[in-house]
Chain A
């Protein structure tokens, strides 16, 4: 049991990193990685929402959709759950933990359309994970996203002083740098604890 959880975590953070090997959450990854402070804010928000969404969607899928033979409604149900969840988290934080809200508040609406969140929920059902495995996969998937985001933000801050062809200015050079990161993360592939 523990071994499988460790293997799931390792897979989600390093081997099959959400950003660098599964291509999930690229849009926000590119969008907010230009500054370290926004990157950390987004990271916290994503870890939080991914863990919660994994837990809630697992319950909905197992106790509502599958018994009612509504498995084909999964995509619709999950995206609505995520949208509502994000809204609630935003309201809750605003009222009760304003400090945290000011740190990650503006990133919350962006998370609804972050495909890493819907992706992790869909992968949970595809891999037939149980409740604990789903939550662990959601949390560590978020950690993997955060790791990628923070690493990349630190590189991007230095990119500003780099000298590269004019055509590569902006987005293109970011993609090329991300490619090099993907190459580095390839080193983890095949790593396995079992």
Chain B
């Protein structure tokens, strides 16, 4: 009899403590979840506004392929692409704004665990961080650091982070290029009403991209657009 009590009591106390903990946590979670979600939402919107100002963004339903996480279309202005690359310490997630002519309109690093004082500059709101990010504005085709023959001045001491961001921007530009290809097909195909054509295109274009995401990274950037932005980096690196 006594043995049974010896066994039951500890289990009961543990159960009660766990139940109280679960209840309290449930309450706190309930109280904070709304705020946590709205913060995440706000952060996302701020990042999108920063790279490509527009009145609204529509998720194109692009399926996460490990590199490109999502593509949002800003009607008439272009796209905002969320890309994840591996940096020096972990994953770096960035938002890349791309205009309708496939030029980068700006980047914003939303998540990274890069080294403070070095790679972390890429996401910091500081003079250096702003200058680094500003270099990407107006880039097109393959974006690379100066060491690799590109036009981006890497953050000193954080070449790996800088390269990762260049890769991400290149991937974003490339993926938008393929979007437009399917876009063009969609336009060529008989579209119902001309007034909400954009909405129709928008649905049709997601299908081919999902079907064949593999060739995207390998697609060579189309040559015609490359020569123009060479003037840009000079001004950017001076800043």
Binary contact track B84-97/A, C-beta < 8 Å → 1, others 0: 00101111000000
Residue in A76, A190, A192 whose beta carbon sits within 8 Å of that of B21 in the complex: A76
Given contacts A189-B160, A190-B160, contact A72 B25 (CB under 8 A): yes
Residues of A within 8 Å of B, CB-based: how many?
A: 11
Q: Is A38 an interface residue (CB 8 A)?
A: no
Q: Is A16 an interface residue (CB 8 A)?
A: yes
Q: What residue of chain A has the Cβ atom nearest to residue B36's Cβ?
A: A72
Residue in A16, A72, A73, A127 whose beta carbon sits within 8 Å of that of B89 in the complex: A16
With contacts A21-B89, A73-B25 known, what are 7 further pairs, Cβ within 8 A?
A4-B66, A16-B89, A72-B29, A76-B22, A76-B25, A80-B18, A192-B86
Note all chain A residues with C-beta closer than 8 A to B160: 189-190
Note all chain A residues with C-beta closer than 8 A to B89: 16, 21, 189
Minimum CB–CB distance for B119 against chain A, Å: 10
Tally inter-chain residue pairs, CB-CB below 8 A: 22
Q: What residue of chain A has the Cβ atom nearest to residue B164's Cβ?
A: A190
Note all chain B residues with C-beta closer than 8 A to A4: 66
Note all chain A residues with C-beta closer than 8 A to B25: 72-73, 76
Residue in B18, B29, B66, B88 whose beta carbon sits within 8 Å of that of A189 in the complex: B88
Minimum CB–CB distance for B90 against chain A, Å: 7
Chain B residues with CB under 8 Å of chain A are: 18, 21-22, 25-26, 28-29, 66, 86, 88-91, 160
> In the complex, A127→B21 CA distance in Å?
27
Q: What residue of chain B has the Cβ atom nearest to residue A186's Cβ?
A: B88
> In the complex, A16→B115 CA distance in Å?
13
> In the complex, A76→B25 CA distance in Å?
10
Q: What residue of chain A has the Cβ atom nearest to residue B29's Cβ?
A: A72
The reply to whether A16 and B21 form a contact with Cβ atoms under 8 Å apart is no
> In the complex, A21→B29 CA distance in Å?
32
> In the complex, A72→B22 CA distance in Å?
9
Note all chain A residues with C-beta closer than 8 A to B91: 127
> In the complex, A80→B17 CA distance in Å?
13
The reply to whether B22 and A73 form a contact with Cβ atoms under 8 Å apart is yes
The reply to whether A190 and B22 form a contact with Cβ atoms under 8 Å apart is no
Binary contact track A172-194/B, C-beta < 8 Å → 1, others 0: 00000000000000000110100
Minimum CB–CB distance for B13 against chain A, Å: 15
Minimum CB–CB distance for B33 against chain A, Å: 8
Minimum CB–CB distance for A193 against chain B, Å: 11
Note all chain B residues with C-beta closer than 8 A to A72: 25-26, 28-29
